[in-house]
Structure 1
Amino acid sequence: MKTMSRRSVPLVALALLALAFVAAVALSSVALRGARLDLTSQGLYTLSDGTLRILEKVEDPVTLKLYYSEHATRDLQQFRVFATRVRELLEEMAARSGGKVTLEVIDPEPFSEAEDQAAAYGLQAIPLNTTGDKLYFGLVGANSTDGESLMPFIQPDKEAFLEYDVAKLISTLGAAERPVVALLSGLPMGPSMDPSGRQNPGWVVDRQLSELFELRRLQGMPTSIADDVDLLMLVHPRDVPEATLLAIDQFVLRGGRLLVFVDPDAEADQRGINPLDPLSASEPQASDLGLLFQRWGISYDPTRVVLDDRHALQVQPDPNGPPVRHLAVIGLEKDALNQDDVVSAELGKLHFSTVGALGLSRESTLRMEPLAQSSRSAAMADVVAVRAAVSDPDQLREAFKPGNEPLVMAARFTGELATAFPDGKGEGHLARSQGPVNLIVVADTDVLTDRLWVQVQDFIGEPVYNAFANNGDFVFNAVDNLVGNADLIAVRTRAPSARPFKRVEEIRRGAEERYRSTEQRLQQQLEALEQQLTALQQPGAEGQAQAISPEQQAEILRFQDERLRMRKELRDVQHRLNADIDALGDRLKLVNILGMPTLVVLVALLVAWRRWSRRRAAEA
């Protein structure tokens, strides 16, 4: 019995361990429900503080429906990885919402009711092949009051802004009213009557803003900004009285958002032009927030214009002459736009004309984040000289000397701020901001005009917009971002989950540097050898084969052997380009295959050694 009892001990122990494991799993599923540990270096599965606050403030429950054609992507492994990333982010948001956000994942299979629903919502279907397979990957959000918002197709190249877009979708579902944008403009942006009595619908930018927001046009120079204003938009502010500057200052300090467009020369400003005086058209029309910029620490010179040789656009000052590149008319592309800010990211082109430069003084408490900046082949020029070169832009090249530093044309300014009017004594006057301020300044107003970004055509009484630049998107992004609550603005831009193999790239670059010169030398020798061999085998004058001497035949054979040798050596060089990468892959495979078993064996040996040591100590 004693022997049988000893034999049964391991079996009983294993059964108890199995029961304990099952109990631990069941207990952890209850006790640790909702607990998560993000071990990724970039915090891919950790929500931003702004997102968490948005989820906490959800009052009307939100349902998210993710339409994903999983079966259609069976051969698109990279896209499946991205889809898993999106799904995990949505699941994390739902889990952290306290039941206020629910997620449904729907596969809209062909000819199914789910596919009809996806099409009815307006989700975008991407054809995958000629057999008719379609890919749906869109998100629909809905609340209990029939409010809906959607993302027609979640694009992998916009993964960095995925959390922001989803948080914005959830945030806007609870908005009962359109945000209020107060516009104070010194330019004729809005609808008006032209001298002939016809209705002028205004600039396209103005029309789009009025459709998406409650656009409140301020008349004159206000001495206060209403508390229900979400964003104050200033366009070409000229001769602003101190009382209005004080109102702007206090609006910003109490948490209001500010979007400013100033300009060294607003070409759309016709107020100072006298039709009877041709010289009046040569006077620059500058705007500035002078005292506010100075005391806030934002540097801007309304008498200087940015010239950029690399990004200069072509203009045609003479209708009968050829187009010329104008250093003061600048077209920026993606490499000159901040791809980490939702306002400027993903924009393809942004056009400016006679734009100024922005900066920060040493005493400023703000932080400047450039949104658009020139190339290093840029310099500043006097605005009078630029206006004088309208008919002959080549004049600007005579004194042009690049400063080898990029110049900031548009920027976001954030941080704590002190009032520009410390002696103010009115009721409720704030000496400091109640929190971090957030404002965007653009040193150009021409960026808003239709001529720089869009052509408008009439089609059966309806306007059709043909945009050739992204100026309108830039303005809308700025307004949309600033009118959002502080929580939405705080949502961070995420790094893409697909991380590059930096070590592999370093190895590849090093290998290319080591072997590229050898490869080029061998390639040149091989080409020279091919030419010599072709020359020896040239036919006669009448196309007949020439008699070849034994010496020439031996030379041809030697050239052929040399060509084979060089080609083999060239293949070896090309193979060595990837040898180090293959070696690294073999080492990683070895670690993955043998690493864990080796660790288990070492732990087992350590446990056995400790038991043996304890037994020896007990026997002694």
Structure 2
Amino acid sequence: MAFNRKTLTGSALLILAVLFVAVVLISNVLFRGARVDLTQSNLYTLSDGTRNILGKLDEPINLYLYYSDKSTEDIPQLRTYYLRVRELLEEMAARANGKIKLSVIDPLPFSEEEDAAAGYGLQAVPISAAGEKAYFGLAGTNSTNGTAVIPFFQPEKETFLEYDVAKLIHDLTVVKKPAVTFISSLPMSMGFDQATRQMREPWAVYSQLSQLFDVRETNPTQLKEIGKDVNVAVLVHPKELSDDALYALDQFVLRGGHLLVFVDPNAEQDQSGADPENPQAAMFADKSSDLAKLFKAWGVDYAKDKVVLDRAHALQISIAPNAPPVRHPGILGFTHKDLSRDDVITANLESVNMSTVGYFELAKDSPSKLVALIQSSDQSMSVPAERLKFLSDPSALLQDFKPTGQPFVLAARLEGQFKTAFPERSGAGHLAEAKEKNAVVLFADTDILSDRLWAQVQNFFGQKVLNAFANNGDLVVNAVDNLAGDSDLISIRGRATSQRPFTRVEELKREADDNFRSHEQKLQNELSETERKLTELQSAKSQDQAMVLSPEQKKELDNFLKRKVEIRKELREVRRKLDADIEALGTRLKFINILLVPLLIVIAALGFAGFGARRRGKN
């Protein structure tokens, strides 16, 4: 009987082992690629836009992730981020229906793999004083030998990791440059300048766009239709556009076209009314622009006669050769902390300059959404644009300056499912409302495009050399580049990072710092009071006794030194308590993660097993 029982027990274990292996094999087949993302921000879940891009791939794409494993052994930040990048790429490859082949390569020094990485244009970053370098980039190729690369994955740009990789994949599916129609009433392209009677050079930003895109210039007075092959329409300083031109823009947006708009309450490069025989004609000409009919239909307000003054972002300018520079609250400079970190257009920029800027607001009951790219500070106000036309001293703008306490939106994405501004029109192809949501990028400034605010173009032995001192050109290229992608690519926003700060620890540190500063200020106040008393006692002494401490002075000094020691002891106690609190928090977390959670799982498993045994016993 014992033999049979042992035999049955051994057979049961064998059967269970076989069943376990079978379940694992079957689950690998049935649930291949299945994942559950339990992170707070769905960090490992691809966005709908990325999944759509992967689902539309119609040709194979090869991705080569180059990572110097040995060289980065002592750089934990890069090693952690490498796992994040690799997991994202593996997830994309799994979702691409076999259209993406991912290869992970360690380019050892002086190897063929290192030569291939350099050939793709990946960046080798120095990581030691001895000259050792590391690769951490991505190269992609398609079936027509097209290539696209991310030279180096920077951990601080993790929020746009998914967007950057999705854009690389999208670019590999594009066989030609995106078409951009340029509609401008400002003299941005090469042409004949009537004022100087010479050929004018194109603006630097226009030259940059022409190198990257298939730019097609359109005269705003002749605009009646925007071709369906156009990816992006760039509208600069629209003045007195005909209804046919407005209707062309209206229908372009409703059918899913991407529009980038630059309007201005005071376009300083506007040459309206320019007449060599009458210089005053240009001075008094209207230099504002608007898109009132379309703005109204889209649910956004814009005052073409208002300029934003901002004393917090005012730039210094020279008003006379021998005069010191003065701050001009109408000419504004923004640094990276002032630009939206959540939008790919502005996220990686360091500085942007603007001049005589307007602002946007959502209209009352507007169904659209206005997402700010650039905002003024709360130390700003709006004034009539006329105040800046004949201004000789910018400091006059600060007279009676009354900030609103609220920022103004100077540039933004306007998102919504737009309706037509021409409901009275009809005919073949007419759209009364967009079938899907779209986004229009708006700037309340055209001077942002002019060379004077961001670049110096010099002639160096017949070659044009561009020296940029701000990122205005990058801003415009980013905007067009982002809009040139399809709607799925545009929909991908910055994601949360895998770095999770210890918020409780940071809170403890802030509390300790507050206590530390409070005690330090107390010590400083007592020191000042002691010095005051010593000075009073010293002034009451005769000149020949000035260098001798009186009993009162000595007592006061001894009291202060004693109190100083006590306060320093209190400061050390604050720091010690902080360390103790952090250590106690760490101990609790270790207990929960290492002991308590596994113990609860074991208890739950034993309880479940006992419950099953009782049920079997009853049966």
**Corresponding residue of 1:166:** 165
Decide whether the 8 Å contact of 1:141 with 1:150 is kept in 2: yes
Q: CA deviation at 1:472?
A: 0.5
Aligned equivalents of 2:155, 2:486: Cα separation in 1:
26
Please tell me whether the aligned partners of residues 53 and 487 of structure 1 are also in contact (alpha carbons under 8 angstroms). yes
Q: Is the 8 A contact 2:124 2:135 kept in 1?
A: yes
In the other structure, the counterpart of 1:517 is: 518
243-252 or 606-615, which moves further after superposition? 606-615
- Matched residue, 2:538: none
- Answering whether residue 459 of structure 2 is matched by residue 465 of structure 1, we say no
Give the Å deviation of 1:278: 4.5
Q: Aligned-pair distance for 1:386? A: 1.2
**Contact 1:518–1:573 (Cα < 8 Å) also in 2:** no
Cα–Cα, structure 1 residues 243 and 21, in superposed 2: closer, same or farther, change >3 Å? same
One-letter amino acid of the counterpart of residue 111, structure 1: F
Aligned residue pairs total 604
Corresponding position of 1:407: 408
Aligned counterpart, 1:39: 38
Counterpart residue number, 2:349: 347
- Sort the Cα spacing of 1:17 and 1:530 in 2 relative to 1 into closer, same or farther, 3 A: farther
- Letter paired with 2:169: I
Q: Which moved more, 1:555-564 or 1:213-222?
A: 555-564
Alpha carbons 1:519, 1:574 under 8 Å: kept: no
What residue in structure 1 maps to residue 544 of structure 2?
none
Q: Distance in 2 between matches of 1:244 and 1:234?
A: 11
Q: In the alignment, residue 305 of structure 2 is paired with which amino acid? A: T
- 5+ long unaligned stretches in structure 1: 534-545
* Other-structure match for 2:237: 236
**Amino acid in structure 2 at the alignment position of 1:100:** K
Instruction: Give, in whole Å, the separation in 2 of the partners of 1:227 and 1:604.
Output: 63
Identify the residue that residue 107 of structure 2 maps to in structure 1.
Answer: 108
SS of the equivalent of 2:316 reads: strand
Give the CA deviation at 1:399.
Answer: 3.0
Per-residue deviation, 1:306: 0.6
Aligned-partner Cα distance in 2 for 1:266–1:555:
68
Deviation at 1:366, TM superposition (A): 1.6
Query: 2:578: which partner in 1?
Result: 577
Alpha carbons of 1:364 and 1:155: their partners in 2 closer, same or farther (altered >3 Å)? same
2:334 aligned with 1:332, yes or no? yes
Residue 166 of structure 1 aligns with an amino acid whose one-letter code is V
SS in 1 for 2:245: helix
1:216-615 aligned at under 5 Å gives the runs 216-219=216-219, 220-283=221-284, 284-389=286-391, 391-514=392-515, 516-518=517-519, 520-521=521-522, 567-603=568-604, 606=607, 610=611
Q: Provide closer, same or farther for how the CA distance between residues 73 and 547 of structure 1 changes in structure 2, counting only shifts above 3 A.
A: same
Amino acid at match of 1:89: L
Cα distance in 2 for partners of 1:172, 1:559 equals 71
Contact 1:306 1:379 in 2 (8 A): yes
1:271, 1:557 → 2: CA distance?
79
Deviation track 1:3-27 (CA, whole Å, cap 9, x = no partner) reads: 2333454444333333322222222
User: Who is 1:79 aligned against?
Assistant: 78
Equivalent residue letter for 1:129? S
In 1, Cα distance between the equivalents of 2:362 and 2:567? 61
Q: What CA deviation, in whole Å up to 9, does each residue of 1:461-481 have, x standing for no partner?
A: 221111111111111111111
* More moved, 300-309 vs 246-255: 246-255
Q: Separation in 2 of the partners of 1:548 and 1:440?
A: 74
Q: Which amino acid aligns with 2:205?
A: V
Shift of residue 526 of structure 1?
8.7
Q: Distance in 2 between matches of 1:185 and 1:148?
A: 33
Is the 1:519–1:573 Cα contact (8 Å) retained in structure 2? no
| Residues 512 and 574 in structure 2, CA contact (< 8 A), matched pair in contact too | no
Residue 126 (1) aligns with residue 140 (2): no
Normalised by the length of structure 1, the TM-score is: 0.90
The amino acid across from 1:160 in the alignment is: T
Q: Distance in 1 between matches of 2:64 and 2:618?
A: 65
CA shift, 1:248, in A, is 1.3
Q: Specify the SS of the correspondent of 2:389.
A: helix
Partner amino acid for 1:592? N
> What CA distance in whole angstroms lies between the structure 1 residues aligned with 2:430 and 2:21?
65
TM-fit CA distance, 1:202? 0.6
Q: In 2 relative to 1, CA 602–422 (structure 1 residues): closer, same or farther, beyond 3 Å?
A: same
Separation (CA, whole Å) in 2 of partners of 1:547 and 1:276: 85
Shift of the 304–29 alpha-carbon distance from structure 1 to 2, 3 Å rule, reads same
Equivalent position SS for 1:71: coil
TM, length-normalised to structure 2: 0.91
Shift of the 479–557 alpha-carbon distance from structure 1 to 2, 3 Å rule, reads closer
The answer to whether the Cα contact below 8 Å between 2:266 and 2:288 also exists between their aligned partners in 1 is: yes
Identity of counterpart residues, as a percentage?
Answer: 49
Q: Which moved more, 1:212-221 or 1:195-204?
A: 195-204
Aligned residue for 1:542? Answer: none
| Cα displacement (A) at 1:265 | 0.9
- 1:304-352 Cα shifts (integer Å, max 9, x gaps): 1010000001111212211111111011122321111111111111111
Structure 1 contact 302–356 (Cα < 8 Å) conserved: yes
Shift of 1:606: 3.1
Work out the CA distance in 2 between the residues paired with 1:274 and 1:379: 34
- How far does residue 117 in structure 1 lie from its aligned partner after superposition? 1.2
SS in 1 for 2:188: coil
Match of 1:536? Answer: none
- The answer to whether the aligner puts 1:210 opposite 2:215 as a matched pair is no
Change (3 A) 1:14 1:265: same
C-alpha RMSD of matched pairs (Å): 3.0
DSSP 3-state at the match of 2:591: helix
Q: Distance in 2 between matches of 1:190 and 1:146?
A: 33
Match of 1:539 in 2: none
C-alpha distance in structure 1 between counterparts of 2:369 and 2:269, whole Å: 31
Asked whether the 8 Å contact 2:515–2:574 carries over to 1, the reply is no
Q: Please say which of residues 282-291 and 95-104 is displaced more in the overlay.
A: 282-291
On the 8 A contact 1:512/1:577 being kept in 2, the answer is no
Q: Which residue identity does 1:581 align to in structure 2? A: I
Structure 1 residues 216 and 586, CA gap change in structure 2 (3 angstroms): same
Using a 3 Å threshold, how does the CA distance of structure 1 residues 95 and 238 change in structure 2: closer, same or farther? Answer: same
- Whether the aligned pair in 2 keeps the contact of 1:139 and 1:150 (CA below 8 Å) is yes
Q: Distance in 2 between matches of 1:615 and 1:477?
A: 67
Post-superposition offset of 1:359: 1.0
Cα deviations across residues 26-66 of structure 1 (Å, max 9, x unaligned)?
Answer: 22222221212211111111111111111111112100011
Moved more, 303-312 or 338-347: 338-347
Cα distance between partner residues in 1 of 2:228 and 2:129:
57
Amino acid at match of 2:481: D
CA deviation after TM superposition for structure 1 residue 565, in Å: 5.7
Partner of 1:92: 91
Distance 1:503 1:588 in 2: 12
Instruction: Work out whether residues 187 and 235 of structure 1, in 8 Å CA contact, stay in contact via their aligned partners in 2.
Output: yes
Relative to structure 1, is the Cα distance of residues 6 and 556 closer, same or farther in structure 2, using a 3 angstrom cutoff?
farther
Alignment deviations for residues 372-418 of structure 1 (CA, whole Å, 9 cap, x no partner) = 110001101111111121x2111111132111110011111111111
Sort the Cα spacing of 1:505 and 1:557 in 2 relative to 1 into closer, same or farther, 3 A: closer
Change (3 A) 1:241 1:550: closer
Q: In the aligned structure 1, how far is the partner of 2:517 from the partner of 2:114? A: 53
Contact 2:349 2:475 in 1 (8 A): yes
Give the distance between the partners of 1:556 and 1:304, measured in 2 at CA.
Answer: 63
How far off its partner does 1:199 sit?
A: 4.1
Q: Structure 2: which amino acid aligns with 1:438? A: A
Distance 1:374 1:95 in 2: 44
Q: Is the 8 A contact 1:315 1:324 kept in 2?
A: yes
1:192 paired residue number? 191
Counterpart secondary structure, 1:385: helix
